[in-house]
A = this chain, B = another copy of it.
């Protein structure tokens, strides 16, 4: 940290061999031409953004691209547009502008923009380069790291996609100042997740720094982004294609996806659904005799301090929960697998849990939150 309290640039490396890439984290990075230039192979650049982010930051990115042949495509904002139709709009833009195989896409926005621009880059002419410029906390700590790209299908979230690594990630913490409160909180849900699954020291730091994070202290946010990215990068480097431990990053996500699908995408933010889902996963872990009840309560309290929901919404009964979770990708050959906590900081992916414990959890929720 510099003496004026602003974050200085930090640089991580995601170690994926020939697909390795840097993550730059700090203040004032979004307009720094030198962070883009080394990762743009040709002359052509297509910036993909949305109607909310483009008015705020597109000009700064364009200024950093002086000398390149750059164009922008501005998508409608929202998870409900993360589909094949909107994706096709990116292909339209690329082809109408005659962009060649050496084009570089830049994803300027949150997770939805990153997932779609990344998937477009994965598929356009069977694969072109892209750079992530995440402007939400969720995207900075999660979706911009690891190469998962894709779109939703009416029958399931992120069901259509590709693994496609960016050439670089430029995470400017200044962009978090314009973030709506709900989205800041949603990002913090994923931050807490890293602590719960593998980093109890980070969890302690989060308990101690909840207030500066909620008041958007730049240094605290940069620290949270960096430690989240370090955790995610380590997991991804060990398991790029999600054959094993990478699935641990999905703590709370099977329940969370069910909440999102049950309510209809867009009602709850992804991070909000994950927060409630993590509380459910922790509760189930306690019921199985794995996690200490006090640790589950403490995790729930931390999420509540971050203004996150710690109960699922009403209106989903136990049968509906099971139906919604059955389409989750972690159902392998018909068997529901969940990420659960053996203890704090130690997550496992398992189908080997007593079904009565899950039934008990769901029926307790049904009676507690029914409307």
Q: Which residues of A contact B (CB under 8 A)?
A: 42-44, 84, 87-88, 91-92, 95-96, 98, 100-102, 122-127, 148, 150, 153, 155-156, 159-163, 241-242, 326-327, 329, 331-334
Contacts and interface: CB of A to CB of B under 8 A. Distances in A.
B122 A162 contact: yes
Contact of A241 (B100, B127, B153, B162): B127
Contact of A156 (B95, B123, B126): B95
Contact of A332 (B102, B153, B156, B163): B102
Contact of A163 (B43, B95, B126, B163): B126
B159 A124 contact: yes
- Where chain A touches its partner, the secondary structure class is mixed
Given A98-B331, A125-B159, 12 more contacts: A84-B84, A84-B88, A91-B153, A95-B153, A95-B327, A98-B327, A100-B331, A102-B333, A123-B123, A123-B150, A124-B159, A126-B162
A142 to B, nearest CB: 16
B160 A148 contact: no
A43 B126 contact: no
A51 to B, nearest CB: 23
A333 B99 CA distance: 8
A305 B98 CA distance: 38
B123 A161 contact: yes
A121 to B, nearest CB: 11
A102 B331 CA distance: 10
A205 B203 CA distance: 71
A162 B88 CA distance: 15
A327 B99 CA distance: 8
A149 B79 CA distance: 27
Contact of A44 (B44, B95, B241, B333): B333
21 contacts: A84-B84, A84-B88, A95-B155, A95-B156, A95-B159, A98-B326, A98-B334, A100-B331, A100-B332, A100-B333, A100-B334, A102-B332, A123-B123, A123-B150, A123-B161, A125-B329, A126-B150, A126-B162, A126-B242, A127-B162, A127-B163
Contacts of A162: 122-123, 126-127, 162
A156 to B, nearest CB: 6
Contacts of A98: 326-327, 331, 334
A95 to B, nearest CB: 4
A123 B122 CA distance: 10
Contacts of A331: 98, 100
A92 to B, nearest CB: 7
A91 B150 CA distance: 13
A92 B333 CA distance: 18
B96 A332 contact: no
Nearest to A88: B84
Nearest to A120: B160
B333 A91 contact: no
Contacts of A326: 98
A73 to B, nearest CB: 14
